[in-house]
Amino acid sequence: MTQAPRADDRLIVAMDVPNAVAGLQLADQLGDAVSFYKIGLGTLTGGGLGLANELKQERGKRIFLDMKLFDIGATVENAVRGLAQFDLDFLTVHGDPYVVRAAQEGAAGKDLKILAVTILTSLDRQDLDTALIKEGAVQDLVLERAGNALAAGADGVIASPQEAALIRALPEAQGKLIVTPGVRPTGAALGDQKRVATPANAIADGADHIVVGRPIWQAQDPRGAAEAILTELSSI
């Protein structure tokens, strides 16, 4: 494996591109400025696992596979056991305690970190109402789900920057990871995100990693956009 220079891995770039070819082109543009990539479902069907393997094994990058697994326990366990063979770094599952426990069984003996999804950063209270999610403020539900998932053995949680400080204060969060999507540099378009913060604010509030996608890969100069975020993080 060719060991890439290690950039600040608090920045995870979301490769929300249609296929592996586009992913490799983005990685070429970003070069050694970025050391950590997220590959999600949209890229998975276009060779995403092959892309993950090449970035990890050939370019020395860290990989976050964002699959948000949700199924019966046995199926989750088997799926995670298969994915764990790819030597990945992070994998997301839904934060239901039985899902988390099954995922940890599947990841046993590997370095793969299981991250539990609390409530998607694209959702607000109205969205939760239409999905028949129980009443309560979004922050309260995120905290409850985060605490339950961490108690069930999750290595960390996915949560919006606006809940990062509250989750970090939970006793169950000691020594655990907090990864925050919904991060937007000052002046960037919000897109479909509703609970957002700037990169510096997200880290200052307790996040270990921030996930940034469109503000980087849609930029005319993706590397310049990534470096601007890294410069902002260097002050934290």
135: Cα within 13 Å, side-chain hemisphere: 0
Considering all CA atoms of the chain, what is the largest pairwise distance in Å, rounded to the nearest integer? 50
107 vs 111: CA distance, rounded Å:
8
11 vs 34: CA distance, rounded Å:
7
Bridge partners (DSSP) of residue 197 are 183
22: Cα within 13 Å, side-chain hemisphere: 15
List the structure tokens of 126. Answer: 């109205």
Residues 6+ apart with CB under 8 A from 221: none
Secondary structure (3-state) at 151: helix
List the structure tokens of 226. Answer: 């990534």
List the structure tokens of 4. Answer: 């890439």
Q: Helix, strand, coil proportions of the chain in percent (round to 5)?
A: 45, 15, 35
Which amino acid is present at 45? T
Determine phi and psi for 212, rounding to 5 degrees. -130, 130
Is 113 a known active-site residue? no
- Among residues 68, 113, 134, 176, which one is catalytic? 68
What are the residue numbers of the active site? 68
